[in-house]
A and B are shown apart, each in its own frame.
Chain A
Amino acid sequence: MNGSKILKLFDANIGDAVRITHLDINGVMRRRLLDLGFVPGAIVKVLRKSPLGDPIAFRVSQTTIALRKEESTKIEGELVSYE
């Protein structure tokens, strides 16, 4: 896919599949996100959003994980598919 759309996980819509390219976080929080499966190259899918968009539930590496806004705004990726 050429010129694919880059977006933050926080801005993705329900049904979007996003390939993670970059985490704009360091330290313990970065470590935690990596351990949860939010690693560059991984494809995550947006499952559900709370009314105010915080938290958001993602499907990542065969498990459902919810992230808070402060985390999902710091993860970037390219849109691979949407529903």
Chain B
Amino acid sequence: MNDNLRIALAGNPNTGKSTLFNLLTGLKQHTGNWAGKTVDLMAGTFTFKGISYEMIDLPGTYSLFSNSKDEEVARDYIVFEKPDITLVVLDATALERNLNLALQVMEITEKVVICINLIDESEKMGISINEKILMKRLGVPVIKISARNKIGIPMLLDTIDRLIKGNIPCNPYKMTYDEETEMKIEQLIPFVQNITGEQLSARWLSLRLIDGDKSLLKEIEQRLAKKDAI
């Protein structure tokens, strides 16, 4: 398509993804089809420090696993289209709920930036958020912003820039499961690697297999079949 770096916006419904998207991309927006899907995702471009980015506004979801159409679209984009950065937008007034999706994204991909939006609202409610501690515990950059009030945007762009240039490390926290699950994961990994190689995280795929994620399996099957046909 083009050699823009791609940033996908993920997050719960109503966390301000589109507001951030509009702020950064302005009038440079278009809709596009991805990988034979009939859904149109909004995409837009912007430039920062001489680097061109394409930003993709994914549908808001609480999860990537519950198999609604929206969740499949968001999951498939992150898993198969492999954006250079996935920006997870969280609602500062409901962090506990919002972190569920952030952890799910962090299991799929390494390159994650967490953006805590609506800090104007959380401050009004007397909630103070220590993003440095979050950053340490999550292993990825965490930036506080208010997309509507244009607060924290330079810091966010700077973080993206430094991440792309490899100047800040990204080591997303990986959930450790109970002993039985971890054992099963270990057993499955070599088989999974045999089929999908290094394209997808074998650990994550093994977990999805254990969870019985039929929708994901179907998607992979279709994509592998298409590749074979070419």
Q: Which residues of A contact B (CB under 8 A)?
A: 27-28, 31-32, 35-37, 61-63
B residues neighboring A (CB under 8 Å): 62-63, 65-67, 93-94, 96-97, 100, 211-212
Instruction: Determine the distance from Cα of A37 to Cα of B65 in the docked complex, in whole angstroms.
Output: 14
Q: Which residue of A lies closest to B65 (CB)?
A: A31
Residue of A nearest to B214 (CB): A28
Q: Secondary structure at chain B's binding surface: helix, strand, loop or mixed?
A: loop
Closest to A27 in B: B212
| Chain B residues within an 8 Å CB radius of A61 | 94, 96-97
Closest residue of B by beta carbon distance from A30: B66
Q: Show 13 A/B contacts (Cβ-Cβ < 8 Å), sorted by A.
A: A27-B212, A28-B67, A31-B66, A31-B211, A35-B62, A36-B62, A37-B62, A37-B97, A37-B100, A61-B94, A61-B96, A62-B96, A63-B97
Q: How many Å lie between the Cα of A31 and that of B62 in the bound state?
A: 11
In the bound complex, what is the Cα–Cα distance between A24 and B123 (angstroms)?
A: 38
Indicate if the CB atoms of A32 and B63 lie closer than 8 Å.
yes
Separation in Å of the B89 CB from the closest CB of chain A? 15
User: Which 7 A-B residue pairings sit nearest by Cβ, starting from the closest?
Assistant: A35-B63, A62-B94, A61-B97, A32-B66, A35-B62, A61-B96, A31-B66
> Do B66 and A35 touch across chains, with their CB atoms under 8 A apart?
yes
